[in-house]
Amino acid sequence: MLLEIRRLTKEYARKSFLSRPVITRAVDCVDFQVEKGSVTALVGASGAGKSTLSRCLIGLERPTSGLVLYRGMDISGMTNAQMRDYRRRVQIVFQDATGTINPRFTGAQTVSEPLRIAGIGSQGEWNRRAIYWMEQVGLPAAAASRPALELSGGERQRLAMARSLISNPEVVVFDESFSALDLPLATRLFTLLSRLRTSFNFTYLFIGHD
């Protein structure tokens, strides 16, 4: 099994005027599995803890209890080097791409950021691969040299998708990634992602309320 979530629970404590902190349980004993090459949907109402779960899944949050297993290995026991590799192999596209984009970056710099962080390839290769993946998600080549934040909301979301795919991940988590897009654009992107999954054997986990 590629990914397995076992009885994952996440609680937050906040201070109160009482003697004890108030505990909020955002995720309550969740179990599911994601097979390699599959498309999995996790659906829940707003405020159900879906984004908290996705952050636990990629290692940005530590569960209060339970396990996130990648190929049978508990990610909480990974070394720093293993966690860096895990985060390259399990990518996420958040709901608001704008908040994840460096305002000083062009489109190509935004997409190639994972390669630069990992030290994979040369600057020329970063640019070539960025343009390739931008084209794969339907962005024009001209967007590569434009400041990323000058692009439209839908274009920025596609930048985030291209960035998640450029490092050839095994799993891509889409955390409400389509909720701000109009239906025709969302439909086109779903079609593109379906084609890319077939070509590159990606595994998708879609998290949403729709």
In this predicted model, what pLDDT tens digit does every residue of 123-171 receive, in sequence order?
889 999 999 999 988 898 899 999 999 999 889 999 999 999 998 999 9
Parts of the chain with a pLDDT under 70: 16-19
- 90 within domain boundaries: yes
18 located within any domain: no
Residue 48 lies in a domain: yes
pLDDT at residue number 10:
96
Give the pLDDT score at 18: 66
pLDDT for res 118: 82
Return the SS3 of 163: helix
Beta carbons of 196 and 202 less than 8 angstroms apart: yes
Q: Quote the domain boundaries for residue 161.
A: 3-12+23-208
What does residue 92 show for φ and ψ, rounded to 5 degrees? Answer: -135, 145
Does 36 reside within a domain?
Answer: yes
Per-residue confidence (pLDDT) for residue 163, from 0 to 100:
95
CB of 146 within 8 A of CB of 95?
A: no
Cα 204 → chain centroid: 10
pLDDT at 41: 94
Separation of alpha carbons 25 and 27, rounded Å: 6
Burial of 99 (0-12, 13-18, 19+ CB in 10 A): exposed
Residue length, the chain?
210
**Left if phi > 0, otherwise alpha if psi is -120 to 50, otherwise beta: which for 31?**
beta
Amino acid, single-letter form, for residue 137: V
- Residue 174, domain member (yes or no): yes
Q: Is residue 199 part of a domain?
A: yes
CATH number assigned to the domain comprising residue 31: 3.40.50.300
To 10 degrees, the CA torsion angle through 139, 170, 4, 186?
20
pLDDT, position 93: 94
Q: State the pLDDT at residue 186.
A: 87
Domain membership of residue 34 (yes or no) is yes
Q: Which of 13, 171, 39 is nearest to 92 (CA)?
A: 171
Domains identified in the chain, total number: 1
pLDDT of residue 20: 77
Residues 6+ apart with CB under 8 A from 58: 87, 90, 91, 92, 173
In a domain, 17, yes or no: no
Which positions ≥6 away from 15 have C-beta within 8 Å?
Answer: 21, 22
